Amino acid sequence: MTERSSGKNSIIPRVIRVLLIVLGALLVLGCLFTIFRIRIQANQSLRDAKNVYMALNAAQIEFYSKGESIFDPSNYRGISTGVDDIVSTLADSNGEYRIISYDSKNHIIKEMIYQNNNYYITFKFDNGRNDWTVRYLMPVYLIGE
């Protein structure tokens, strides 16, 4: 009778140990899945931002031929009217973009911001070098939904 009762008691710690191992493995897999999902979506958003940048350069060529500029500092987004139509035709993106700084003498975009969902991409042209930065903005809490 003592052998049976000690046998039942040894099964419970084994079951708990197996459950903890399974839960730990699920937690690690969930974290890895989230990390890879964020990374893949960040790469897609970066591609979209670069497509918008190239479309803005193409629009600049068209506007330059008319004697105009794509940059309008009086507009919040920093773009002239008509630029959105060209960019939406050339670049298939769902995000919002703004030109922050523009070199009117050389007709070069110096700084640009692109935001798509929770991804915030900044572009900076400095000393002949293009710097792209991708940030993931994680919402902490939502109020009113």
pTM above 0.85, yes or no: no
* Whether pLDDT at 1 is above 80: no
* Whether pLDDT at 115 is above 90: yes
31 vs 33: CA distance, rounded Å: 5
pLDDT of residue 104: 87
* pLDDT digit string, tens, across residues 74-93: 888 889 888 888 898 898 88
